[in-house]
Amino acid sequence: MDDRTRLSRSIYLSVTGFFAFQVLLFLIFHRAYRMSGAYFRLFLSTTLVLHLAILAFLLAFRKDFALVEGGRRLARVNLANEVTLARISTLPTLLILIVASKEYSIKAPLLVLVALVFVTDFADGWISRASRQVTFMGRMLDAISDYSVLIVLSIVFYYYDLIPGWLFWIIIFRLVFQGAGMAVLLMARRSVRTQSTFMGKAAIFTTMAIYTLEVLRAVVRWEAPGVWRGLEFAAGAVVFVSIFEKAALLTAQLRRKPRSGGQPPAGTGPGSTDAGRESQDP
């Protein structure tokens, strides 16, 4: 069995294992709290679609299971990428349970699950650096995970009326636009040039800051409508402007002529981020 076949087998086993684990995890919540069957059907359809998408993505970009230092291709999904995949795999479970928490008293175990998901965000990068197995696939998966977590958080904040509708849609459009742009680049060029931008960093920082402040507002019940409206408009303006910067950046990358001799793996080339990092800034 050659390395390519072993890697494909490892991908199938990993994705199948994560899918089975999520179904088992949700069934535990479902049975323990006597949840409606509608929640399970919604979860099952959502998580099935996600895991099929993950499987298709990993198989399509098997060549990116290669080390940043040296370029050696892996024969199996390494531990750091398994941790990142576990975080992405859990998002449908997390989202459905958060929605269900309005109806069922599952906030305590749900909080533990949320904490575990966020801990993995630090664990995968540490593992990849400690084992010296930073991969091009790891960079892409970590970026996908970051965007996915922000989308889930945005839906939760909107669902619980912690942010106004117009701000929710601006943030969602920014995140979806970024994801769609990266998908177009991957399909058109078979590679993505990793590049940090000031407005990209500012948009993510502003989003997380306003979310933190909104939680604080709900906890302390600080009623100052004018102040909060001003902060929300400021956050929305930063995210909105970052959309145009990202559009210009994606357009420039699409117009750039491919290098002679074929495309390098995703994340390489001039302007790419430091090899020791797993994630890319938006």
DSSP string over 28-79: HHHHHTT--HHHHHHHHHHHHHHHHHHHHHHHHTGGG-BBTTT-PBPSS--H
- Residue tagged 């950046």 (tokens): 249
Q: What is the pLDDT of residue 190?
A: 58
Q: What is the pLDDT of residue 12?
A: 97
Q: What are phi and psi of 260, to 5 degrees?
A: -65, 145
Domain residue ranges in the chain? 3-255
Residues 93, 152, 120, 191: is their CA dihedral positive or negative? positive
- Residue tagged 């970052």 (tokens): 242
Q: What is the pLDDT of residue 106?
A: 86
State how far the Cα of 193 lies from the Cα of 143, in Å rounded to an integer: 13
State how far the Cα of 146 lies from the Cα of 209, in Å rounded to an integer: 15
Structure tokens at 17: 């294992």
State how far the Cα of 225 lies from the Cα of 242, in Å rounded to an integer: 26
Q: What are phi and psi of 66, to 5 degrees?
A: -130, 145
The per-residue pLDDT string of the chain (282 residues; one tens digit each, 9 = 90 and over) reads 677 899 999 999 999 999 999 999 999 999 999 999 999 999 999 999 999 999 999 998 899 899 988 888 999 999 999 999 999 999 999 889 888 888 888 877 877 887 788 778 778 888 888 888 888 898 888 878 878 888 888 888 888 788 899 999 999 998 888 878 777 776 666 555 555 678 887 888 888 888 878 777 766 676 777 788 898 899 999 999 988 988 888 888 777 765 544 444 444 433 333 333 344 444
3 Cβ contact list (under 8 Å, min separation 6): 73, 74, 75
With both helix axes pointing from N to C terminus, report the angle between 165-189 and 225-255 in degrees, rounded to the nearest 10: 10
248 Cβ contact list (under 8 Å, min separation 6): none
Which one, of 99, 112, 117, 109, lies nearest residue 40 by Cα? 99
**Amino acid type, 237:** A
Q: What is the pLDDT of residue 81?
A: 94
Question: Which residues share a beta bridge with 135?
Answer: 67
Residue 99: burial class (beta carbons within 10 Å; 0-12, 13-18, 19+) = middle
Q: 3-class DSSP state for residue 135? A: strand
Structure tokens at 160: 């619980």
